[in-house]
Amino acid sequence: MYQKVKLFILTILFLLPVSFYAQSKKEIKKYEIKSVTEWLTVYQNGKESTYKESFTSFNENGKTTEETHFNPDGTIRKRETTKYDNNGNKIEETQYDTEASVKEKKNKKTSFIYNSEGEKKEEIEYDGNGSITKRVVFLYNSLGERIGETIYGEDSKIKKKITIIFNSKGLKEEKKTYDGTGVLISVKKYVYVFG
């Protein structure tokens, strides 16, 4: 019984996200941290094994520009790069799938477009060949609240539409999701309790 509990606790600790222990963006900027390399030591069957688990680099504003995760043998498991505009808005994110076979590579690039108010206007997702797989168009009201999203598929047809209603305090009140033909598929209501 004790061994099972010990094994369970070790498994949970091993599976906790790395970011749980990572530095905050504020600390990264304050100390002008350029990159962080995380090393993991695993103790199993009386043997110790240490490997580089991840490498993350940051820009001068403390935002992540590259994140790479490694397998115990040193090969790259996952890599993601991010680019920002002069306002600090994320404009491009690329995810590289290094574990899949060449035939089924699932590399993905996402571009983000903003309006003059700095609100995300559009998000376009591309596959490894540069073909559009998904496009999301965002709609805002005059207060800058995101009141809608239209999601298009690779065939440029509407796959999903979302409408959001805000109350007089500017808090979300209701979110409705429709399929590509306009049929309502879900309603989420927000209930607030104030002190």
Residue 111 lies in a domain: yes
Instruction: State pTM to two decimals.
Output: 0.73
Residue 161 lies in a domain: yes
CATH number reported for the structural domain that contains residue 154 in this entry:
2.40.128.720
Residue 20 lies in a domain: no
Among the residue ranges 10-19, 47-56, 88-97, the one predicted with the least confidence is 10-19
Mean predicted confidence (pLDDT) in 138-163: 96
Whether residue 90 is predicted with pLDDT greater than 90 in this model: the reply is: yes
Residue 88 lies in a domain: no
Sheet of 108-114, strand order:
35-44, 47-58, 64-70, 76-84, 90-97, 108-114, 120-127, 132-140, 146-153, 158-166, 172-179, 184-189
Residue 7 lies in a domain: no
Mean predicted confidence (pLDDT) in 125-142: 94
Residue 166 lies in a domain: yes
Question: What pLDDT is attached to residue 97?
Answer: 78
Total number of domains constituting the chain = 1
Residue 33 lies in a domain: no
- The percent of residues above 90 in pLDDT, for the chain, comes to 76
- At residue 22 the predicted structure's pLDDT band, cuts being 50, 70 and 90, is low
- At residue 128 the predicted structure's pLDDT band, cuts being 50, 70 and 90, is confident
Whether residue 79 is predicted with pLDDT greater than 70 in this model: the reply is: yes
Nearest to 25 by CA among 59, 69, 53, 54: 59
Summary mean pLDDT of the chain? 87
Residue 70 lies in a domain: no
Q: State the residue range of the domain holding 125.
A: 107-189
